[in-house]
């Protein structure tokens, strides 16, 4: 019987893992910094409080690894929200089924208007997003949206509801390059508290999504946690374990990670745990050392100054000119936003910033072509 990632973590106690992270010493950190191949224990050390004294060498190591593996380039992508309809009741999300917001799903004509507006921004790498509404925004709708986008973009990525293997094969055939699915929190005991109703309330089905993606043959697979729900250091360890499991068992796919920090949204949910800018930086550098080949993205949830500083420090892709409301490029409507944008610069301003750092901007994904 095939081993699943859940089998490797089901007997782990969340609090015990947290305790093991906080017990890491400066000696453990120094050992991790000198290791050629990092173990999970090394990763724990690098995100532990003890590593806060070693941020400078971590930053330098992250820069060196990233430039060696990816060169001095930053890939731009743009999110295109197709729908904010959702049957889930995630208590932290602006699209929560219970939130009294106007619901909108884009028609073919509206999708084409969004495409036209995005192409005018010179973007060639699009990320399609939706809420989770199987009836109104199911696989047929997603497949159709991909086919509408296909003639206009060299790279199409998805961040939508988890699908079955045969459905992922359909979106691959339609032209999808990457799929990102965030577990939000790996803490199984409290997962249901944050996701009380809807398909997303099924912890195991969501956890196994990356495995189904790999079985379908997806080129790039994204993993992520939402920072603000549970102890972030513990989340990062479980996600690192998930990443290591996937790269070991499904090595034909490429992988990307993201750990967005919670932003203000409809519903007014307040984060339970705060990750400071320094701690966010520490986590980026720890992941870069843990896996040299992963792609790490940074969204417009982060401030402009913070994003500016990370062009050369481990990030490989950034969103630019983003709107988080369906139809937001052709006809902006902040009432439909999933969350409030932090960095509002347009694509031209972002490109000028990246080039001022001595980096080039890439608007499409050459990786699949070169491979």
pLDDT confidence of residue 370: 43
Q: What is the domain count for the chain?
A: 1
Tokens of 258: 């993201």
Kindly report the CATH number assigned to the domain that includes residue 180. 3.20.20.70
DSSP string over 349-369: HHHHHHHHTT-EEE-S--HHH
Q: Which residues of 23-36 are buried (b: 16+ CB within 10 A; e: fewer)?
A: ebeeebbebbbeee
CB atoms within 10 A of CB 100: 7
Question: Which H or E run contains 126?
Answer: strand 125-130
Determine the angle formed by the axes of helices 40-47 and 232-249, rounding to 10 degrees.
150
Separation of CA 292 from chain center: 17
**Residue 152 to residue 329: CA distance in whole angstroms:** 16
* Under 8 Å between Cβ of 52 and 76: no
pLDDT string in tens for the chain (371-residue length):
678 999 999 999 999 999 999 999 999 999 999 998 999 999 999 999 999 999 999 999 999 999 999 999 999 999 999 998 888 888 887 776 777 678 899 999 999 999 999 999 999 999 999 988 888 899 999 999 999 999 999 999 999 999 999 999 999 999 999 999 999 999 999 999 999 888 889 999 999 999 999 999 999 999 999 999 999 999 999 999 999 999 999 999 999 999 988 765 565 678 889 999 999 999 999 999 999 999 999 988 888 999 999 999 999 999 988 888 889 899 876 555 555 678 889 999 999 999 999 999 988 665 554 44
d(CA 358, CA 312): 9
pTM score, whole prediction: 0.93
> What is the tens place of the pLDDT at every residue in 187-219?
999 999 999 888 889 999 999 999 999 999 999
Contacts for 142 with CB less than 8 Å, ≥ 6 apart: 82, 128, 130, 158, 160, 171
Please give the residue range of the domain that contains residue 302.
5-370
């Amino acid at each position: 019987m095939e081993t699943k990632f859940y089998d490797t973590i089901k007997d782990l106690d969340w609090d015990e893992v947290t305790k093991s992270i906080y017990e890491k010493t400066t000696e453990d950190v120094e050992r991790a910094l000198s290791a050629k191949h990092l173990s999970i224990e090394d990763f724990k050390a690098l995100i532990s409080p003890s590593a806060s004294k070693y941020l400078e060498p971590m930053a330098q190591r992250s820069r060196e690894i990233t430039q060696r593996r990816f060169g001095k380039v930053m890939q731009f992508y743009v999110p295109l929200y197709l729908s904010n309809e959702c049957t889930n009741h995630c208590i932290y999300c602006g699209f929560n089924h219970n939130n009294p917001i106007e619901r909108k799903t884009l028609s073919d004509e509206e999708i084409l208007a969004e495409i036209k507006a995005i192409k005018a921004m010179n973007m060639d790498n699009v990320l399609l997003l939706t809420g989770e509404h199987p009836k109104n925004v199911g696989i047929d709708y997603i497949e159709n949206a991909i086919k509408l986008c296909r003639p206009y973009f060299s790279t199409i990525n998805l961040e939508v509801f988890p699908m079955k293997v045969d459905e992922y094969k359909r979106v691959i055939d339609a032209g999808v390059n990457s799929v990102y699915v965030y577990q939000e929190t790996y803490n199984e005991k409290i997962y249901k508290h944050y996701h009380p109703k809807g398909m997303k309330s099924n912890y195991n089905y969501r956890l196994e999504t990356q495995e189904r993606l790999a079985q379908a043959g997806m080129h790039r697979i994204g993993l992520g946690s939402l920072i603000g729900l549970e102890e972030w250091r513990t989340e990062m360890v479980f996600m690192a374990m998930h990443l290591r499991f996937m790269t070991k068992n499904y090595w034909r796919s490429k992988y990307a990670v993201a750990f967005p920090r919670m932003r203000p949204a409809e519903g007014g949910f307040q984060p339970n745990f705060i990750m400071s800018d320094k701690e966010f930086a520490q986590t980026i550098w720890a992941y870069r050392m843990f896996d040299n080949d992963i792609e790490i993205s940074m969204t417009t949830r982060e401030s402009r100054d913070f994003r500016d500083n990370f062009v050369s420090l481990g990030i490989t892709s950034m969103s630019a000119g983003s709107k988080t409301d369906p139809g937001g490029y052709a006809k902006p409507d902040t009432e439909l936003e999933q969350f409030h944008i932090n960095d509002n610069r347009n694509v031209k301003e972002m490109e000028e910033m990246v080039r001022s750092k001595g980096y080039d901007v890439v608007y499409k994904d050459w990786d699949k072509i070169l491979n």
